[in-house]
């Protein structure tokens, strides 16, 4: 029997729970106020087609990811998507919730006409990389990043 896992789009009433879930994302994730989160969420919601997806089991938030749909001036104007902040509560891992929320994000991107969905991970753990591959993502490009707090 499958858990009562449901996926839906986040609203402002979900932000306190989402901020709590993000403490399971990285050890250095610094908490901040719900008021600040509300302002960020308002700005995020202006990105057409983008969403914070929430995965719940019996009303409890257990997984999430952010999907950003990016307009594109190449490929005939076909947009692409970026997935970020993929997290599953540590007490609910290895149950398929992360894959299911990534599948939902990908489907939402396809529904928005995106030609690709990208994500990056800072993890080098074989289990994490295998998880993304099981979710249908392939290491086909080389990723680079530049951070504001480095080299200054």
3-state secondary structure the chain: CCCCEEEEECCHHHHHHHHHHHHHCCCCCCCCCHHHHHHHHHHHCCCCCCEEEEEEECCEEEEEEEEEEECCCCHHHCCEEEEEEEEECHHHCCCCHHHHHHHHHHHHHHHCCCCCEEECCCCCCHHHHHHHHHCCCCCCCCCCCCCCCCCC
Pick the range with the lowest mean pLDDT from 9-23, 115-129, 136-150.
Answer: 136-150
Residue 152 binned pLDDT confidence (cut-offs 50, 70, 90): low
Q: What is the pTM of this model?
A: 0.91
Q: What is the pLDDT of residues 73-130, one digit of tens each?
A: 999 999 999 999 999 999 999 999 999 999 999 999 999 999 999 999 988 899 999 9
């Amino acid at each position: 029997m499958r858990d009562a896992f449901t996926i839906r789009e986040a609203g402002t009433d979900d932000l306190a729970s989402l901020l709590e879930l993000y403490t399971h994302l990285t050890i250095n994730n610094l908490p901040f106020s719900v008021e600040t989160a509300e302002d960020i969420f308002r700005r995020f919601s202006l990105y057409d087609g983008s969403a914070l997806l929430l995965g719940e089991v019996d009303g409890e938030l257990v997984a999430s990811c952010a999907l950003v749909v990016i307009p594109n001036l190449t490929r005939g104007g076909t947009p692409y998507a970026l997935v970020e902040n993929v997290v599953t509560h540590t007490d609910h891992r290895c149950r398929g919730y992360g894959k299911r929320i990534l599948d939902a994000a990908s489907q939402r991107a396809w529904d928005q006409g995106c030609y690709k969905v990208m994500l990056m991970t800072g993890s080098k753990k074989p289990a994490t990389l295998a998880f993304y591959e099981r979710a249908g993502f392939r290491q086909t490009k080389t990723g680079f990043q530049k951070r504001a707090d480095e080299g200054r």
